[in-house]
Amino acid sequence: GDSVTQMEGPVTLSEEAFLTINCTYTATGYPSLFWYVQYPGEGLQLLLKATKADDKGSNKGFEATYRKETTSFHLEKGSVQVSDSAVYFCALPPLIQGAQKLVFGQGTRLTINP
């Protein structure tokens, strides 16, 4: 079945460091791809998405490019801030007609130190 694998956390960085969180997927076709973020004590918020190969999703300084050839959707940010501390989830929507389930990666906890 479809699946998502994220890099193991936790990840701890200093402010202004460069961030990469890896995400790879297994799917029978070419789905859309999402990154969700969960700030402490809050729900899941859609951070960015890409709907087809070579698309780049971006939001709040974060970017991710949908790479069909490597089945990846790595999340990057050039200069992280303390406020970026959160858990980040890569997610894959269903391709099967009528299916509704989002498949989530295991989440990567990011802590940014001042």
Partner 1 sequence: EPEVTQTPSHQVTQMGQEVILRCVPISNHLYFYWYRQILGQKVEFLVSFYNNEISEKSEIFDDQFSVERPDGSNFTLKIRSTKLEDSAMYFCASSERTATYGYTFGSGTRLTVV
Contact residues toward partner 1 (CB under 8 A) are: 31-32, 34, 36, 42-46, 49, 89, 91, 93-94, 98-107
Min separation Cβ 16 and partner 1, Å: 28
Min separation Cβ 110 and partner 1, Å: 15
Judge if the upstream peptide bond of residue 10 is cis by omega within 30 degrees of 0.
Answer: yes
**Phi, psi for 82 (deg, rounded to 5):** -55, -35
Closest to partner 1 by CB, 17 vs 58, is: 58
Min separation Cβ 107 and partner 1, Å: 7
From residue 59, give the alpha-carbon distance in Å to each of 49, 56, 100.
9, 10, 25
